[in-house]
Amino acid sequence: MNKWRRRLWLPGFATVGRLGPEPLGLPVMIDAIALLFVCQLLGEALHRLTGLPLPGPVIGLLLLLGWLALVRRERPGLEAVTGWLTAHLAILFVPAAVGVMEEGQILSRHGLALVLATVVSTILTMMVTVLVFRWALKRSGADMPQ
């Protein structure tokens, strides 16, 4: 790669002739990130204006899903950006973990109930997932795995 044409590297490549994979350009990445932020902003605006009982980012995610369904085309930049965000998702939880640690007094008072609620809801979620999966297998006519 030419040192005068530096490009942002994220795990997504556009194939270029016989030279092999070349990193996607910065404008493609900025467009993808802008799309994600615009959808989140619109979702937050809809939440505040209409009072919908869903968080703004969830509404934004639904808007993004609708836009992706309506405008069908390849989006290597969006795929690369979302792949990178997903790969580094653990880093995004650090501020939340620090915020939880700041609430030591509340955790000492209600910690056991929070742990119990988390364990029970996780087990219930796993059980419902298994039941839905079995129902979907029966409905599709596929054989049940042993």
- Residue-wise pLDDT for 27-56, tens only, equals 778 888 999 999 999 999 999 999 989 899
Task: List the structure tokens of 91.
Answer: 């880093």
Report the C-alpha gap between 38 and 24 in whole angstroms.
Answer: 21
Angle between helices 26-50 and 76-87 (to 10 degrees): 80
The answer, as to whether pTM is greater than 0.85, is no
Residue 18: pLDDT over 80: no
Q: What is the pLDDT of residue 27?
A: 78
Minimum mean pLDDT among 3-7, 52-56, 74-78, 127-131: which range?
3-7
User: For residue 106, what pLDDT band results from cuts at 50, 70 and 90?
Assistant: confident
Residue that is written with structure tokens 């005068």 in the block? 4
